[in-house]
Amino acid sequence: MCGIFGIISNKSNLEVGKLIREGLERLEYRGYDSAGIAVVNNGAIELRKKSGRIADINKNGWLDSIPGQFGVGHTRWATHGKPVQHNAHPHLDCTGKIGIVHNGIVENYQDLRKELLLRGHDFKSDTDTEVFTHLIEEFIAKGFDLKDSVIQTVKKCRGAYGVVVIHADTPDYMIVARKESPLVLGIIPGESTYCASDIPAFLPLTREAIILDDDEVAILKPGEVEIYGVHEGKKKNISPFEVSYSIDAAQKSLDGVQFPWYMIKELHEVPQKIKEQVQIPQTDLDGFCKAIMDADHVFITAAGSSYYAALAGKFQITRCGGPYIDAVLCSEFVDLVPKLSKNSLVIAISQSGETADTIEAVRYARDKWNAKICSIVNVVGSSLTRYSDHVLITTAGPEIAVASQKAFCTQVTALSLIGLRIAELHNTISKNEVTMYKEALAATSKITQQILVEQGKIKEIAGKLMDFENVYFLARGISSAAALEGALKLKEVAYIHTEAYAAGESKHGPIALIEDGFPVIFVSPPDETYDRMIGNVMEMKSRGAVVYSIVSATDEKITSISDYTIRIPFLDSKYAIDTCVVPCAFVLQLMAYFISIKKGLDPDKPRNLAKSVTVK
């Protein structure tokens, strides 16, 4: 949450404001309620900030034209203090010489603020961040240099931070520090250095990157970085690595085609991303699989869409002969699992690898109960990867749209691969069945491609659903994961109230809301639940519901009792149907997108949300 982008360079005639604004726009998915830039300009700090989205704030080039040599910007997702101008970052100290941006939460900010107020500091915002500026101001006044002032300050602050600090009197460097909030550095050796919350922000400028670790502080000079440990104070020798993914990842174009929104561009990436996921070397899964099979109790945890992927995955792993897995929402993990038995294992799923609740669950299981951690993560080098014994990186690549879609599809695919590798290594299902499942999994890439080609029907149904205020999603078994994902997407990007229920649960309460015209979406692949689903469709129809069903291309029975159907070209085999979550969820993700744009909304940046939820 919140995006940070900073630049220091020795290149002449650099348009610093414009470069920072462009970097912030590439990070806007992390928060978009206010933004600002501070730069050092001939011994003073120039500051421009406002509430609203960057494009509006920058009308007439207001941010682009800020004069200065180097500086930092921030795009905010409000936690402490409303999204108004005085709470927007950067924040300045009392002297106006120190500028700071921050991502994270200072947990003890109230105590620190009280002390600072008593010592006469003038606070201009309601944020937790501002305590940093005044603490640094005090350490500078005591004679510490800027780096040591930042070190002393972060030692006093409890919580999470990615911070960038500039000082009007130090025109040749700036300082960054990190703990539990992401901060990455980009370098053009000898020329420019960038700092950002995420790599795509500087990808058009450089591919040389360093991922700052927890409790590290760095001095950034043009094209040069010095990294120190906050506690031991020692200089570290860290070399940059080359970012392998393409610049396309951070842009709205794909294979030369320009898309209007990241969400639809990323949905078009799904077929290729599944293909890449299926092709990862099988031996990469072995450590992960062994850890699962060696554990006495296995949990799986995640939030939001990643949790729904986890639900599909736990089912697949058990079906393939792996252990039964307990799924627990990461935000509930500490409260619902008061004790973990010896030799427990937690599988954590996360696109960003930075979700605070997921990290809390993992650290609790690991530090308190000595559990092993296996994680499936999309972002290389993210915090979750550092707390894990085994990591499987998904092939989705950078996901910019706030609502997850391609990450979900690759997470489900990765979990299915783990199930199949367990089956292979432990002979839990026959070799022939493993082969059939693998073929079915690989075919989901082609099926999603086909769905994209035949998207007309999904658009048509989107048109019929767009004006409803409430929609139910019903499914049984593994398809529930697709229904939950579809319901969440529609809620997020189209602001329609949705609920996803196990179809059998509906008559235990939810059916009370059904009256003439109430829309119900059934996810009904022809699996072992099919006949029971027919009964559930009939229960809804006979009470006046309008039934929309996701069915196979050859379906007859549910089609005959539904008002509308979307037909998925599954392969004609039990194994293909068992692998139906990704195609079914993909249809629903596309549908949510079409409804969002038909309603004139912004599908990339739903209100009140941000990608990478780094607060609990």
Using CB under 6 A, list all residues that contact ligand F6R. Answer: 303-306, 350-352, 355, 358, 403-404, 488, 492, 612-613
User: Is 403 or 418 the residue whose CB approaches ligand F6R more closely?
Assistant: 403
Closest CA to 127 of 193, 191, 83, 177: 83
Q: Which of residues 350 and 445 has its CB atom nearest to ligand F6R in the complex? A: 350
Is residue 179 among the annotated active site residues? Answer: no
End-to-end CA distance of the chain: 11
Closest approach of ligand F6R to the CB of residue 403, in Å:
4
Task: Name the residue among 528, 596, 526 with its Cα closest to residue 567.
Answer: 526
Q: How far is the CB of 606 from ligand F6R (least distance, A)?
A: 9
Distance between CA atoms of residues 301 and 432, nearest Å: 31
Rounded CA-CA distance 143/577 in Å is 69
Q: At what angle do helices 262-278 and 406-426 cross, to 10 degrees?
A: 10
Closest distance to ligand F6R from the beta carbon of 405 (Å): 7
Instruction: Assign 3-state DSSP to the chain and report helix, strand, coil percentages, each to 5.
Output: 40, 25, 35
Q: How far apart are CA 11 and CA 78, in angstroms?
A: 34
Dmax (CA) of the chain: 80
- Looking at beta carbons only, is 305 or 529 nearer to ligand F6R? 305
CB-wise, 220 or 407, nearer to ligand F6R?
407
- DSSP structural state of residue 377: E
At closest approach, how far in Å is the CB of 309 from ligand F6R? 8
157 counts as catalytic: no
| Owner of token pair 């094209």 | 223
Q: 2, 195, 320, 409: which is the annotated catalytic residue? A: 2
To the nearest whole angstrom, how small is the minimum distance from the Cβ of residue 323 to ligand F6R?
23
Residue 357: CB minimum distance to ligand F6R, A: 8
Would you call 393 helix, strand, or coil by DSSP? strand
By C-beta, is 58 or 612 nearer to ligand F6R?
612
**Checking DSSP bridges between strand 70-76 and strand 44-51, what pairing results, if any?**
unpaired
DSSP letter for each residue of 48-99: EEEES-HHHHTGGGTTTT---SEEEEEEE--SSS-SSGGGSSPEE-TTS-EE
Number of neighbours of residue 299 by Cβ within 10 angstroms: 22
Nearer to ligand F6R, 93 or 604 (CB): 604
Q: How far is the CB of 570 from ligand F6R (least distance, A)?
A: 25
Cβ closer to ligand F6R: 201 or 220? 201
Burial 500-522 (b: 16+ CB within 10 A, else e): bbbbeebeeeebeebeeebbbbb
Q: Find the catalytic residue in 372, 406, 491, 611.
A: 611
Nearer to ligand F6R, 182 or 322 (CB): 182
Its sign, for the CA torsion 259, 265, 269, 271, is negative
Type of residue found at 496? I
CB of 410 to ligand F6R, least distance (A): 11
Q: Which is nearer to ligand F6R, 127 or 411 (CB)?
A: 411
- Residue whose C-beta lies closest to ligand F6R: 304
Q: Is 464 helix (H, G, I), strand (E, B) or coil?
A: helix
Element (H, E) at 523: strand 519-523
Rounded CA separation 135/120 (Å):
12
Cα–Cα distance measured from residue 446 to residue 34, given in angstroms and rounded to the nearest whole number = 41
Mapping DSSP onto H, E and C, the string for 109-137 reads: HHHHHHHHHHCCCCCCCCCCCHHHHHHHH
φ, ψ at 89 (rounded to 5°): -90, 160
> What DSSP character marks residue 315?
H
- H or E stretch at 172: none
Q: How far is the CB of 402 from ligand F6R (least distance, A)?
A: 6
The DSSP-derived string for 384-453 is: HHHT-SEEEE-S-----SSS-SHHHHHHHHHHHHHHHHHHHHHT-S-HHHHHHHHHHHHHHHHHHHHHHH
CA-CA distance, 522 to 512, in Å (whole number)?
17
Query: Shortest approach of ligand F6R to residue 378 CB, angstroms?
Result: 7
Radius of gyration from C-alpha coordinates of the chain:
25
Catalytic residues: 2, 611
